[in-house]
Amino acid sequence: MQSFTYLSPTEVVFGKDTELQTAALIRRYGGSRILLVYGGGSILRSGLLNRIQQVLEEAHLTQEVFGGAKANPTMEHAREGVKKALEFQADFILGIGGGSAIDTAKAIAIGAAAPDTDLSEFWGGAKKPVTALPTGAVLTISAAGSETSNSAVLTNLATGAKRGLSSDLNRPRFAIMNPELTYTLPVYQVACGVVDIMMHTLDRYFNPTENEMTDAIAEALLRTVIAKGPVAVRDTHDYDAMSELMWAGSLSHNGLTGLGGPGDFAVHQLGHELSAMFDTAHGASLSTVWEAWALAVCDAKPSRFARYARNVWGLTEGDEDTLARAGIKATGDFFRSLSMPTSFSENPDIGVQAETVLRDLAHRCSNQGRRTIGSFRVLDEEAIYLIYRGANY
Ligand code: NZQ
Ligand code: ZN
C-alpha cells in the first residue's frame, strides 16, 4: 500500500427533508451572505430553490442567486459568478444541483477569494489556490460526486480545454443529500450518473497496485451500483435505489475507493476531451470510450481484470484471459442495457469521426503531446489515438 493522506471533511446530512437544515448548516460554517449557484432551472421547476430561499429568509440570512451553469460548465460563466460574488460581498457559496452547479460554486469560491488571479491560471495549473470562500452543496443528481470531492471541472471555451482542479479547498463544508430531490431526473441523467459513479471507482481500481481493503470496498460499491442502477432507471421514485446511488456517488469520488494506489483516471481524461469537443454528457462520454480503453490496456495485467470479473460480475468460467475479456464485455453489456453509448456511433452527440478528428482529440488529450495519462498502462498521444480509433465504430 502506498502512503496516503485521506481528508474527507464534508459533513454529510442524508435523508428526507434535509434541505430544510440548509440555513442552520450555513450558520454553523460561518456564512451570513449567501450566493446560491444553480444550473439551467430544474430547481426552479421542482420548487427546491423556493424552499431553500424561504428557509434562508426565515433565518435572516442575506441571499443572492446566480443561475445558468450549463452541463459541462464553463470558466467564462464561473468568471461572471466571481464578479457577482464580489459585488454582493458573499461570504458563503451554496451550489444547488449536480456536478455542474456545484463545480461552478467551487470555482466562484476560489475566484472570489483571489480576485487578482484569473480562473484560467488555477485551472491551467500555472498557480495553486491557497484560499477559498466556504462552500456547501445541496445535491439533486447522483453522479459526479462533487458534493464531497476535492475536484471542480470547468471547460475553458477560449481554449476548448475541459480540465479539473484538484485541491482540498474544493471540499464543501457540508453536503445535503435528500434522495427525493433526485426523483425529477430524466432517466437518461440517472443512467449517466450510474456510469459516472462506477467510473470514479473503476478509474481508481485499475491501477498497478493491489490493496485488499481498498479493492474490497471498491468491489462492494460497484456491485451495489450494478444492482440498484437498473432499478433506479426503471423507477426514479424508488427511494431505496435512489438512496443507494446517492451514497455510492459520494463514496465513489471522495477518495475512499482508491486509497493506497496511484489512481488511473485515463478514461476520465479521454471522456473530458469528448465532452469539450462534442458537448456530450459526462457519463455518456465515459461509457463511449470505456470498452475501447479496457481492451487496449487489459494485457498490462489480465489478472486484475480477471479479479474484477470474478468479484464484481460473479464470473467464474475460463482462464485469466477469458475471464478478463468476459468482465469487459459484461461492463459494456451493462451500459448498453441502460441505453448508454459504448462507441462513437452509439453516442448521438458524436457519431463516427474522420481520422483527422481522432488525431486532434488525441493531441488535445495529451496536452499537445506534453503529457501522458493513466497508470494501469501509461498512455501517450499515439496510445490515446488508438483508443479513440477503437471506439470509432
Ligand atoms: O441544469 P439543470 O436545469 O439543473 O438540469 C440538470 C442538467 O441538465 C439536470 N438535473 C440535475 N438535477 C436534476 C436535474 N433535472 C431534473 N431533476 C433534478 N433533480 O441534469 C443535467 C445534468 O446535471 P449536471 O450537474 O451537469 O450533472 P452531473 O452531476 O453529472 O455533473 C456533470 C459535471 O460534473 C463534472 C463533469 O465533468 C460535468 O462537467 N464532474 C465533476 C467532478 C467533481 N467535481 O468531482 C467529477 C466528475 O468526474 C465530473 O468530471
Ligand atoms: Zn466523473
98 C-alpha to center of ligand 1: Å? 4
99 Cβ below 6 A of ligand 1:
yes
Question: CB of 45 within 8 A of CB of 181?
Answer: no
Q: Quick one: which atom of ligand 1 is closest to the CA of 141?
A: 12
What is the number of alpha carbons within 13 Å of residue 122 lying toward its C-beta?
33
Q: Quick one: which atom of ligand 1 is closest to the CA of 184?
A: 17
Query: In this structure, which residue's CA is closest to atom 2 in ligand 1?
Result: 40
Write the pLDDT tens digit of every residue in 343-378: 999 999 999 999 999 999 999 999 999 999 999 999
Residue ranges in the chain assigned as alpha helix (H)? 22-28, 42-45, 48-58, 75-88, 99-113, 119-123, 187-205, 212-234, 239-253, 266-278, 282-297, 302-313, 320-337, 355-365, 381-391
Neighbours of 14 (CB within 10 A): 15
95 Cβ below 6 A of ligand 1:
no
**Distance between CA atoms of residues 262 and 1, nearest Å:** 10
Contacts of 356 (CB under 8 A, 6+ apart): none
Residue 109, pLDDT score:
98
Amino acid at 291: E
Write the pLDDT tens digit of every residue in 298-348: 999 999 999 999 999 999 999 999 999 999 999 999 999 999 999 999 999
Residue 48, pLDDT score:
98
103 Cβ below 6 A of ligand 1:
yes
Which ligand ends up closest to the CA of 164?
1
Task: Return the CA Rg of the chain.
Answer: 20
286 C-alpha to center of ligand 2: Å? 8
Query: In this structure, which residue's CA is closest to atom 20 in ligand 1?
Result: 189
Q: Quick one: which atom of ligand 1 is closest to the CA of 196?
A: 48
Question: CB of 97 within 8 A of CB of 193?
Answer: no
280 Cβ below 6 A of ligand 1:
no
Query: In this structure, which residue's CA is closest to atom 40 in ligand 1?
Result: 144
141 Cβ below 6 A of ligand 1:
yes
User: Which residue in the block uniquely carries the three cell numbers 451493462?
Assistant: 334
Question: CB of 39 within 8 A of CB of 101?
Answer: yes
Q: Quick one: which atom of ligand 1 is closest to the CA of 154?
A: 39
Distances (CA, A) of 89 to 34, 81, 214, 358: 9, 12, 42, 45
Q: Quick one: which atom of ligand 1 is closest to the CA of 39?
A: 1
What are the two backbone dihedrals, phi and then psi, of residue 12, each rounded to the nearest 5 degrees? -95, 125
282 Cβ below 6 A of ligand 1:
yes
Residue 5, pLDDT score:
93
**Distance between CA atoms of residues 70 and 77, nearest Å:** 9
19 Cβ below 6 A of ligand 1:
no
Neighbours of 255 (CB within 10 A): 21
Neighbours of 67 (CB within 10 A): 18
The dihedral over CA atoms of 209, 213, 219, 222, expressed in degrees to the nearest 10, equals -100
Residue 256, pLDDT score:
95
Beta-bridge partner residues of 36:
65, 94
Write the pLDDT tens digit of every residue in 191-223: 999 999 999 999 999 999 999 999 999 999 999
Neighbours of 246 (CB within 10 A): 24
244 Cβ below 6 A of ligand 1:
no
Residue 328, pLDDT score:
98
Q: Quick one: which atom of ligand 1 is closest to the CA of 38?
A: 4
Share of the chain above pLDDT 70, in %: 100
The mean of the pLDDT values for the chain is 97
pLDDT band at 84 (very low <50, low <70, confident <90, very high): very high
Q: If you ran DSSP here, which 8-state letter would residue 40 be given? A: S
75 Cβ below 6 A of ligand 1:
no
